[in-house]
């Protein structure tokens, strides 16, 4: 089975009746499983997580967005999280048997659909059509309030839809990205400088691994420090390689690893890398996992 995940962030986190009506559109599509719905009243934002066959996920996402555009009015929206539109950001994430290019194609079909509804659309991450639009932060700079001005400049001409401000719906960012793995390593020291040095050693921006973003943090209650990471491509920069580098860097300071955390959802493929590395299993296939027989 091919599995694509979609994690739209919509700009409603207070009126749960509205959220439920939007989620009902996803639930109505056969073959799509909703994994999680989290609403944050301070952010006034909800994160929907669902997955299934790519075509079914596209259909669910179109129905979801159409409904959200009807029900959410951005001209009245307030919340602490950065946002630009009623359906703010829609990442499509390959989980199994789906290549990045397939996810990009789905994102582009979704973008066209949204553009035809009269909402300006920007493609980001692996679906970006200009390098300066890869980053969500860059696209969303100035938020909803800056959008009328930005739309007047050719630099911010949308990738789909009209270059005209839509006060009710704002703008939408969609694209494809590999699933993130949130991985934290806790170190038996309270010396924050060590965590920061190790974060620099492993993260891309300072010369480390290509698909690692990392910061050093203090865990004050536990009198420890943490290297907190997002691994943005667990196949090309696998968990065990990063972990062993951290262990070795920490040893330079006489510091050992107290434990690690895998936060939130993890694709089975990321665990396969752990197995292959530490058990030295050269020929393991995820198909050998018994529970896989139940994924149709």
- Catalytic residues, by residue number, are 81
Distance separating alpha carbons of residues 209 and 201, to the nearest angstrom: 8
Instruction: Give least dist CB 16 to a second copy, A.
Output: 22
Instruction: Give least dist CB 295 to a second copy, A.
Output: 5
Distance separating alpha carbons of residues 121 and 104, to the nearest angstrom: 14
Q: Would you say 49 or 81 has its CB closer to a second copy?
A: 49
Distance separating alpha carbons of residues 56 and 52, to the nearest angstrom: 7
Distance separating alpha carbons of residues 130 and 149, to the nearest angstrom: 20
| Angle 95-99-100 from CA coordinates, rounded to 5° | 95
Instruction: Give least dist CB 68 to a second copy, A.
Output: 22
Interface positions with a second copy (CB under 8 A): 1, 3, 5, 33, 35, 51-52, 95-96, 179, 239-240, 243, 257-262, 264-268, 271, 274-275, 277-284, 288-296
Element (H, E) at 151: helix 143-151
Residue 97's Cβ-side half-sphere holds a number of Cα atoms within 13 Å equal to 11
Q: Would you say 155 or 283 has its CB closer to a second copy?
A: 283
Q: For residue 274, what are its two tokens?
A: 């752990």
- Measured CA distances, 23 to 74, 106, 166, 204 (Å): 19, 20, 23, 37
Q: Would you say 14 or 33 has its CB closer to a second copy?
A: 33
Instruction: Give least dist CB 75 to a second copy, A.
Output: 35
Q: Would you say 151 or 245 has its CB closer to a second copy?
A: 245
Instruction: Give least dist CB 286 to a second copy, A.
Output: 9
Length of the chain: 296
3 state DSSP class of 267: coil
Distance separating alpha carbons of residues 5 and 141, to the nearest angstrom: 26
Q: Would you say 209 or 243 has its CB closer to a second copy?
A: 243
Q: Would you say 192 or 274 has its CB closer to a second copy?
A: 274
Query: Which among 186, 188, 160 has a CA at the least distance from the CA of 173?
Result: 160
- Measured CA distances, 19 to 9, 34, 41, 57 (Å): 11, 13, 12, 18
Distance separating alpha carbons of residues 114 and 169, to the nearest angstrom: 11
Q: Which residues 6+ apart lie within 8 Å of 240 measured at CB?
A: 273, 274, 277, 278
Instruction: Give least dist CB 269 to a second copy, A.
Output: 9
């Amino acid at each position: 089975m091919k599995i694509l995940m979609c994690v739209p962030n919509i700009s409603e986190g207070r009126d749960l009746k509205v959220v439920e009506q939007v989620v009902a559109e996803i639930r109505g599509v056969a073959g799509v499983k909703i994994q999680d719905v989290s609403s944050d009243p301070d952010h006034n934002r909800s994160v929907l997580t669902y997955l299934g066959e790519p075509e079914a996920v596209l259909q669910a996402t179109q129905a979801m967005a159409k409904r959200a555009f009807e029900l959410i009015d951005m001209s009245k929206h307030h919340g602490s999280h950065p946002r630009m539109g009623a359906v703010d950001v829609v990442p499509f994430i390959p989980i199994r048997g789906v290549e990045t290019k397939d996810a990009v194609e789905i994102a582009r079909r979704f973008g066209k659909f949204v553009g035809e509804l009269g909402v300006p659309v920007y493609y980001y991450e692996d679906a970006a059509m200009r390098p300066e639009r890869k980053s969500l932060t860059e696209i969303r700079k100035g938020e909803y309030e800056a959008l009328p001005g930005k739309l007047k400049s050719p630099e911010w001409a949308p990738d789909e839809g009209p270059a005209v401000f839509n006060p009710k719906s704002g703008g939408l960012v969609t694209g494809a990205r590999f699933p993130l793995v949130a991985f934290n390593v806790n170190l038996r020291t309270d010396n924050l400088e060590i965590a920061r040095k190790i974060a620099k050693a492993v993260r891309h921006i300072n010369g480390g691994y290509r698909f690692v973003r990392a910061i050093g943090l203090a865990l004050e209650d536990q009198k420890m420090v943490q290297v907190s990471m997002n691994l943005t491509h667990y196949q090309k920069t696998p968990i065990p390689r990063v972990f062993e580098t951290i262990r070795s860097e920490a040893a330079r300071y006489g510091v050992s690893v107290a434990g690690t955390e895998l936060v939130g959802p993890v694709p089975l493929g990321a665990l396969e890398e752990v197995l292959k590395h530490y058990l030295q299993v050269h020929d393991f296939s995820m198909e050998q996992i018994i529970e896989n027989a139940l994924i149709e």
